[in-house]
Amino acid sequence: EVQLLESGGGLVQPGGSLRLSCEASGFVFSGNAMNWVRQAPGKGLEWVSAISFSGGRTYYADSVKGRFTISRDNSKNMVFLEMHSLRAEDTAIYYCAKDHSPNYPLYYLEYWGQGTLVTVSS
Amino acid sequence: SYVLTQPPSVSVAPGQTARITCGGNNIGSKSVHWYQQKPGQAPVLVVNDDSVRPSGIPERFSGSNSGNTATLTISRVEAGDEADYHCQVWDTSGDQYVFGTGTRVTVL
């Protein structure tokens, strides 16, 4: 059974930083790209970032480019999202999601974790 | 960037058919995928590649895609189908995932 467990969310002040983690199990982690998708309160889904199976290629939404960094550790079955210069509009539930594809082009999101809440507020 | 437009809401009586549209420029040339999200839960893939149902998804869920509109159809709607539905494509021009605006399905 595929399981994705996010952690690291919390309350952070505007301009602050946070690191999210996602621990994966139930599949060959090094064989798939991984993604982060967020959902602001009462809003729709917004894709944030993706990383290829090897970590050699990364992708970002325009709204987070230059502020967020995605990475992965295939030896630990984990993917991370380093977030800097956080803004109020970054407040959302952040979901980790397993991609159907290993690499470019990405395709669709087969499995999702339950998410971790990030609140940016003073 | 590529934009996907969905109606904010669709209401349907139990046992009837719900149709949720997803509009985009020449979307018929792309592969469209659909997710169901019940309140307080994570999204679940219900249709991939326009019309393919993942394992465990009821046959009542089907999809189509042509021209500028993709459609998710839910036949014989049940109370448990009440949820938000999101369409999604991979935008090759921007190397980004794009989600639709989301549609709330209400079962009357």
| CA nearest neighbour of A93 among B42, B37, B87 | B42
Report the C-alpha gap between A91 and A88 in whole angstroms. 6
Handedness of CA A68, A73, A74, A79 (dihedral sign): negative
- Residues B101, A44: C-beta atoms closer than 8 Å: yes
| Mean pLDDT of all residues in A48-77 | 97
- What are residue B76's phi and psi, to 5 degrees? 45, 60
Tell me which chain B residues have a C-beta less than 8 angstroms from the C-beta of A63.
none
Q: What DSSP string runs through A17-57?
A: -EEEEEEEESS-GGGS-EEEEEE-TT--EEEEEEE-TTSS-
Give residue B94's identity as a one-letter amino acid code.
G
A103 band by pLDDT with thresholds 50, 70 and 90: confident
Q: What DSSP string runs through A65-121?
A: TTTEEEEEETTTTEEEEEE-S--GGG-EEEEEEEES-SSSSP--EEEE---EEEEE-
Q: Average pLDDT of chain A?
A: 96
Q: How much is the pLDDT for B1?
A: 87
Q: How much is the pLDDT for B2?
A: 94
- Residues A110, B33: C-beta atoms closer than 8 Å: no
Tell me which chain A residues have a C-beta less than 8 angstroms from the C-beta of B54.
110
Q: pLDDT tens for residues B34-50?
A: 999 999 999 999 999 99
Q: How much is the pLDDT for A71?
A: 98
- Residues A61, B96: C-beta atoms closer than 8 Å: yes
Q: How much is the pLDDT for B36?
A: 98
Tell me which chain A residues have a C-beta less than 8 angstroms from the C-beta of B44.
112
Tell me which chain A residues have a C-beta less than 8 angstroms from the C-beta of B42.
95, 112-115
Q: How much is the pLDDT for A54?
A: 95
- Give A23→chain B minimum CA distance, Å: 16
A104 band by pLDDT with thresholds 50, 70 and 90: confident
Measured between CB atoms, does A42 come within 8 Å of chain B? no
Q: How much is the pLDDT for A28?
A: 96
A81 band by pLDDT with thresholds 50, 70 and 90: very high
Distances in whole angstroms, Cα of residue A89 to Cα of each of A3, B52, B73: 28, 35, 33
- pLDDT of A79 > 90? The answer is yes
Q: How much is the pLDDT for A43?
A: 96
- Residues A95, B43: C-beta atoms closer than 8 Å: yes
Q: How much is the pLDDT for A102?
A: 84
Average pLDDT of adjacent 10-residue blocks, chain B of 108 residues: 96 97 97 97 98 97 98 98 97 93 97
- Estimate to the nearest angstrom the gap between the alpha carbon of B68 and the chain centroid: 14
Measured between CB atoms, does A92 come within 8 Å of chain B? no
Q: pLDDT tens for residues A28-56?
A: 999 999 999 999 999 999 999 999 999 99
